[in-house]
Chains A and B, each alone.
Chain A
Amino acid sequence: MDFSLLLDPSILLELLAQGLVRGSMYALMAVGLSLIFGILNVVNFAHGELFMIGAYVMYFVVASLGFPILAGIAAAAVVLFVVGMLIERVLIDPLRRRSGRGWLLDAFVLTIGLTVVFQNLATELVGSRRQGLVEMIPGSLDIMGISLSYDRLVILAATLVVGAGVWLFVRYTPLGKAIRATGQDAEAARALGISVRQIYMITFGIGASLAGISGALLITIFPAYPTVGMLPAMKSFAVVVLGGLGNLPGAIVGGFLLGIIEAFAVFFLAAGWQHVLTAALVVLVLVIRPQGLFAVQGARP
């Protein structure tokens, strides 16, 4: 480990750029997970498998059917929206209404079962071969001695667009406001005439849809195969913990933070140790600041 390399501005810049690109990926993956947790309090372990389905939809629409990239992303968004709503209504909602003590943990375990089902259903239906796209937009941008492929830049831009879009949506649209109201106090929202059950279903759908979009967008890096979601899921959970469970802007910032940390770790440590660092970092944050790094004073733990 030679930290004096950090004094070299070109290396520092290169690592920061790599970190931003990597971080945009993580932030994109984590937004849906964060939204679902923030509103429903449900931790969706099957998040990675929704990502996986998104990647498959992208592959079939773009590579098999020959539609343009944007159509693939839109298809992934729509398919996962429906899948997410179904999961909520058929599986999560009955648990909530039974509402025993600790039902949230039961819901978590249930989504673990869902993970196993989705992974093996994919193996059974499409096989375990990796199916990806080589690149969405060929070429790369060279700037200040750093080379960034257009694909990575698209991901970076998409993260900012999706992040801003979700934020504006929950902030300013009537549906978004209803979603936030439900997340803050379901009883009060119900008293105001909001159909809380429907909001839960739609929110889960949107969260799943975001997972699908990220799976579709990242297909050049994570080709579609049945267990492709495991790493993205773990990184998403790490990001969501760093940013604070359910804290949407926190998830975006947390994603970039994790990306930059890992970019530096990859450079200074032997390959593979960045995953150890991430896991240990998550443990540390959960112990010291379970409300997340960016929680405002008085936010819930």
Chain B
Amino acid sequence: MRAAKLAVLLGALVLAPLFVSDHFILSILIAALMFGVFGAIYDLMVGYCGLTNFGYAGFIAAGSYASALGASFMGVNPWVGLLVGGILCMALGFFTGLIALRVKGLYLGLLTWFVGETIRLTIANSTEITRGMLGLTVMPFPDLLGIDFSRANLHAYYYALLVIGTAIVLACWWLVNSNAGRAFKAIRDDELAAESLGLSATKYKLINFSIASFFTGIVGAFYAHYIGILSPSPTEFGVSRTIEVLTVTYLGGRGTLFGPIFSGFLIVGFQEALRGIGAWRLILFGALLISVMLFFPRGLATLKKWLW
């Protein structure tokens, strides 16, 4: 049953863009898919291991800039850059975890928030390399396997992201159902009890945080070459972006992994559909997060038994 549902979900994601030729709608589909994947990665941390990363956007920035700067200064092929972004972000996540994972809950949230801001502000101020707020122009992906990856061909970008995203989400799924995943959940539910069973909480948290950062870096690098211009503003790589990803995860339901994929499409879709009402759509967005916290702490998963 589970596999059948997954096949339906994947089928819908594969088929959706075939009916779309409009550039704008395609870019919305890409944004929705990207938020869905970010949300799923975020869920790996917060939903399965209780790790609250409020500096998430800073980690996305690290992946994005690693690949973008690698491509423009060292001629790194952007496809290799995906890996460069992933590995740099993983190193960053590993070291952050090493110092940060001793503190818990709110303290971890505050700490990661300022780690994220440190990353973003460092990028913003290193103007000789990153051009700071002026924005860094990033080359598109080169053609691969004879497929045209110029930015006019958004279908190619959508399917490339779908392949990457599917691989990441399936890897997350495998991970949370492995022994390590059981350890994550044990630590999330009761760290003391888990440790008394001989699980090293720090070790598993570090594994979780590093892997999530690795995936974040890959998608971040993809984002850089897709979007074509990066600037370290608060809306792009600061608190606002973290809030968006966090909302996707919380609305999708923490600890569901696939919930964020749905909520990514829901949130991005509604935000675009409601563009006509101006700032009200963001007011609704904030109110949505508040009402999830107040009334539906399990997010869309509350509806799951009726709908899916």
Contacts and interface: CB of A to CB of B under 8 A. Distances in A.
A272 B278 CA distance: 32
Nearest to A107: B293
Given A282-B114, A286-B111, A286-B114, A120 B286 contact: yes
Interface string A84-98: 000000010011000
26 contacts: A91-B294, A95-B293, A95-B294, A100-B297, A104-B106, A105-B106, A110-B294, A112-B246, A114-B290, A115-B243, A116-B243, A116-B285, A116-B286, A117-B283, A117-B286, A120-B282, A230-B234, A237-B113, A272-B124, A275-B121, A279-B117, A279-B118, A279-B121, A282-B110, A286-B114, A290-B107
A52 to B, nearest CB: 14
A108 B46 CA distance: 14
A294 B122 CA distance: 28
Contacts of A117: 283, 286-287, 290
Interface of B: 50, 52, 99-100, 102-103, 105-107, 109-111, 113-115, 117-118, 121-122, 124-125, 234, 239, 243, 246-247, 250, 278-280, 282-283, 285-290, 293-294, 297
Contacts of B282: 116, 119-120
A94 B294 contact: yes
B252 to A, nearest CB: 14
A124 B294 contact: no
Q: Which of B100, B239, B286 has the most CB of A within 10 A?
A: B286
Contacts of B246: 109, 112
A166 interface: no
Interface of A: 43, 91, 94-95, 100, 102, 104-110, 112-121, 123-124, 230, 234, 237-238, 241, 270, 272-273, 275-276, 279-280, 282-283, 286-287, 290, 301
A91 B107 CA distance: 22
A286 B286 contact: no
Contacts, number: 117
Given A105-B105, A116-B285, A290-B103, A276 B122 contact: yes
Contacts of A113: 247, 286-290, 293
Contacts of A280: 114, 118
Nearest to B119: A279
A105 B111 contact: no
B201 to A, nearest CB: 16
A237 B110 contact: yes
A276 B293 CA distance: 32
A230 B283 contact: no
Contact of B106 (A95, A108, A124): A108
A102 B105 contact: yes
Nearest to A237: B110
Nearest to B286: A116
Contacts of A290: 103, 107
A105 B52 contact: yes
Given A273-B125, A276-B121, 13 more contacts: A43-B110, A105-B106, A113-B247, A116-B283, A121-B279, A123-B279, A124-B279, A237-B113, A275-B117, A283-B115, A286-B110, A286-B111, A287-B103
A1 B18 CA distance: 59
Nearest to A234: B117
B104 to A, nearest CB: 10
B289 A116 contact: yes
A264 to B, nearest CB: 17
B291 to A, nearest CB: 8
A202 B289 CA distance: 25
